[in-house]
Amino acid sequence: MGKVRGALLGKRCPGPLTPVLRPQVALAVALDLRTFLRLRPSAEGRVSVSLPGVGFGRSWDTPDLQALRGRIAADFDESKSPSVEQLDALREFAGIAAGASAPESLATLAFLYMCLAISAKYGDVPSMDILVCSELPMGAGLGSSAAYAVCMAAALLMVCGAISCPLQEGEPTARWTEEELTLINSWAFRGEQVIHGNPSGVDNAVGTWGGALRYQAGKITPLKRVPTLRILLTNTKVPRSTKVLVAGVKEKILKFPAIMNPVLDSIGAISQECQNVLEAMPENPSPEHYPVLEEFFDINQHHLNVLGVGHPSLDRLCQVTASHSLHSKLTGAGGGGCGITLLPPGQYSPSGIFFFLTTLGRVGVRFGSRGIPASLGLALEGWVGCVPALPGTVGCSV
């Protein structure tokens, strides 16, 4: 087995929370910020996972993993959700307390579940060292957990022989077949369930296929050709809990249904109109498209504040960018996290705030021979088993 490396995209969602609460339309679009996974063989009879971005590393003896799999593998399948009994057994094995929500704890459980489940169905995983690093900030509503799950699913499926190595000689990157991408997405969704409990499946789908997706009542469909939009992605660095925010919105809907349900209907209508504009832009470019999208941003942000998922830091972002004639809104679950600002063609980012300049609508999970970017690789120095990738290293990226 040679080295494996890959990268996966993050996402942003113009209409957060609506798919969770009502069968409205929501759109999710891939960001050009990637999560990278490098997998290489180990001769030590161990499986190790390192996430230097959160200061985390764990390793297990392969016989111990095989024994654990034998005890809980009866119902492992990509069509079945992780059971309470399976997750309890994984927590006990990893020494993770019930209810633990630290990123490293959830990443450990997701890896163990996917590793044992995939190997139970397709064949033993070899001794290996796995390194995951990301350009995405964690816990900011950008799909970092889904990017992790898609990368891990792709790598594990490949080393177990469930999917092919798509890279041809001389190619820097390659994509899997549609059937293989569907399998990757199915297992990544199970990883997301371990982390979040009841995810919509939008984040892992965006990470797998990239581009832009429409979500409504559990159905995910890709949009037609969409433009490459430039955005300013601002991390407020304000922590928040998606579960708490969703619970708060549900409480408001139950308390004031005649008021809140029309707000959700309006958010769904914005998503539908936004889809119409995005699909029209590549074929019939018009200077009127950007002002319409800017209005959608403003209206949507006010709606989301009414739902109670805003935050003073996000209000401040909207004020600062408005002073530069730009339009912003929250993304993800709100309550802090990240905001996005639409940048018209030829316009640059304002100064004085912590931001990422990125684009929307990029390709999803892929396999490549390029090393991990130097900007991330430099941060890995000093980590045992985690060194910058050398030329010729290969793997998965989302």
DSSP per-residue codes, 73-89: GGG--TTSPPPHHHHHH
Both tokens of 157, joined, read 């499926």
Report the C-alpha gap between 200 and 172 in whole angstroms. 33
44: Cβ–Cβ under 8 A, 6 or more apart, which residues? 127
Phi first, then psi, for residue 353 (nearest 5°) are: -135, 160
Nearest to 320 by CA among 271, 366, 274, 353: 353
What distances in angstroms separate CA 270 from CA 54, 88, 297, 380, one per listed residue?
36, 42, 9, 42
- pTM above the 0.75 mark? yes
| Cβ contact 106:193 at 8 Å | no
SS3 363: strand
| Cβ contact 215:28 at 8 Å | yes
| CB neighbourhood size of 21 (10 A) | 17
Report the C-alpha gap between 61 and 45 in whole angstroms. 6
Report the C-alpha gap between 196 and 313 in whole angstroms. 25
| Cβ contact 207:143 at 8 Å | yes
pLDDT for the residue numbered 22: 60
Catalytic residue, chosen from 145, 200, 349, 397, is 145
Report the C-alpha gap between 233 and 383 in whole angstroms. 29
29: Cβ–Cβ under 8 A, 6 or more apart, which residues? 11, 12, 13, 14, 206, 211, 212, 213, 226, 229, 360, 361
Could you tell me whether strands 128-134 and 56-61 are parallel, antiparallel, or unpaired per DSSP bridges? Answer: unpaired
| Cβ contact 161:126 at 8 Å | no
CA 237 to chain centre: 18
Both tokens of 215, joined, read 């979500």
Q: Average per-residue pLDDT in the chain?
A: 80
What is the 8-class DSSP label of residue 52?
G
- 78-106 per-position pLDDT tens digit: 778 898 999 999 999 999 999 888 888 99
Residue 241 is a catalytic residue: no
Q: List domains and CATH numbers for the chain.
A: 4-225+363-397 (3.30.230.10), 230-359 (3.30.70.890)
Question: Exposed, middle or buried, 39 (CB in 10 Å: 0-12/13-18/19+)?
Answer: buried
pLDDT for the residue numbered 359: 52
pLDDT for the residue numbered 16: 42
Please report, to the nearest 10 degrees, the dihedral formed by the alpha carbons of residues 1, 163, 188, 140 taken in order: 60
Catalytic residue, chosen from 203, 271, 349, 369, is 203
Residue 203 is a catalytic residue: yes
Which residues does the chain have with pLDDT short of 50? 1-20, 349, 351-354, 374, 377-394
pLDDT for the residue numbered 365: 64
